[in-house]
Structures are given as C-alpha cells and as structure tokens.
Structure 1
Amino acid sequence: MEVSSCIVALSQLLLRLCCDMTEERGLLESSIALFFTQLYIGNHRDISLPFYGCDHPMSRLMVRILKNPEYPWKVKELAQEHHMSVNGFINEFRKFSGLTPLGFVQQTRLNKGKLKLENSNMPVALIAKECGYNSHASFTFYIRKVFGKPPLRIREDARKNICD
C-alpha cells in the first residue's frame, strides 16, 4: 500500500472514531487525524475524503478549511451557514475539534506555512500570502510564537536535517 493511501486510510479511520467518541477520548484522535489529513491535503488539494457515515457538518467544514486555509474565513458567516448563533457555533466546533474555528484556521495556516518553508525556496512573503496572511510581519510573528523560531531558521533547520 502506497504511503498516501495509508495516510488517507488512517485519517478515515480516525475521523470515523471521532463520530463515536466520548469528548475526552476524541481530542487526541481528531488531532492525529487532522495532522495526517493536513499532510496529505498539502500536496493533493483536489482530494475528497469519504467519511464512512461520519457526516458531521463540523468534519466537512474542517476538511474545507484544510483544503483552503488561505480563504478569509469569518465565524459569523460560518455560524449562519450552519444555522447557529456565533457562540453556539464556536462551542460546537470546539467540542468537535478541540479548537475554536479561528484557532483551527490559524493552526492550519501555520502548519501549511511551516511545510512550505521546509520544502521550498519560495520567499517568506509569498508563503505568508499563500497561507492567508495579509503581511509578512504577521506571518513571521505567529510562526515564531507557535514554533519558537523565525521562518528562515525553520527553513535552515529543515535543510540541515536533510544533510545529516
């Protein structure tokens, strides 16, 4: 079985488990599933994941965000789309994913940015724009805050690890 097929199969299994989960058990499982889904979708934007009965609206939304983190997601619009109040939507999303909607978007954008830094020679400003950030400075600030290193250090460290 090819690696990408394994990633998809694992993601599908973990997402299916999330549908039958208790809140405590599910946070870890959904985090792992989202990690593998992000890895795969980072290289295959046209993917469509079947959920094997896990047709929860939040899981579909999470996949949409993973596919298009650069989109200017607005919580109010998402709440209206899901026929919920803003607070109700935020609480439901947090129960399902462990993060607020904007926290999930930000983490997805930063993970995409980190992967691009590690695997490309694209200028940081262009990566920031592709990840949905309006400015190089804001992208740099959040990358450093979350990963503990500025963007160019992340790129340098990735290259050192390849050579080692």
Structure 2
Amino acid sequence: MGSHHRLLCPLGVCWRSGADHSITVLEIDNTPIKFEIVLEARVQLGCERVPQLPIPVLDRASQIAEKLLANSDRGADRGTCARDAIDLIMMFHHWGEPRAQAWEIAERAYGPLVRADLEKTLARLAGDPAWLTDCLSRLQVKESARHIIRGCLSEREGLPVL
C-alpha cells in the first residue's frame, strides 16, 4: 500500500483507507459484501430513509447518477466488465425509466458525455455476446438476472432512450 492508504483493523475488521475513501469486506450470513465509503465531491447527492436500515441511504436518483458517473469513469475499461452499465440495466429494469433528476445530477458533473458513454458501453455489450458472457460470469451474475440483461440489451427494452 502506498503512503495514501492505511490498513486499520479495529475489532478484527480491516479497513483500507485513502484520502477520499474507506473500504472493507463485511461477512453477513457467510456472504462477503464489499462496503465502501466514498467522499463524493463532484455532485450534490440526496438521501432517504428506509424502514429496514437505521441510517439514511442514497435516494434512487442519486444511486443512478453515481452509476452513470462510474460508467463514464471506467466503462471503457474492459477489465471492469462493464459492471456499472450492468448495474444500471438492472436498476432500470426494476425501477423503470430514470427520472430526469438522475440525468441532471450526472450531467452537472460530466455534461452530455454521461449519455454518450452509457450508449457506448451498452452498444459494446450488445455487440459482443462473448464479452457479455465473460462479464456476466466474472461478475457472478445469477442466471435469472443474465436473462433480464440479455433481453434488455437485445431489444434495448427497459433501457432509457438516450
């Protein structure tokens, strides 16, 4: 680890910390879950409360905006397996067309590139079935979700009009 990272292990839980983030892995019901806290300085985010959690969570528009920004940051990197675009496909499938607010939040930071970058990533996934299959395998996407993702990509059904 470089000088900008620290490894902290209070109570046996190890955290890797940098200038703008902290990461750990939590195990819940024998399932490892990556937990990351990030300082977001590009945009103003909103939050909401959900009954199941004692702390506020990002509202849906902010969740989508963050994924749009993440796709712009790393969607062209084949090593990330288009994970942000795949997450967006599932978000759109379950939540419907993103509200204009999500696009506005993301475009405040990156402008119209957000839409163009998402379109490029989706076109690459749709146009390269072997790469899509590899991505879904490497990301350990369940078969039921794979079916949804392939269906959305093949017909662009359930995806936003860009």
TM exceeding 0.5: no
- The TM-score range, normalised by the shorter chain, is 0.3 to 0.5
Q: What TM-score does the superposition give when structure 2 sets the normalisation length? A: 0.34
Please identify which structure carries the higher strand content: 2
Instruction: Tell me the TM-score normalized by structure 1.
Output: 0.33
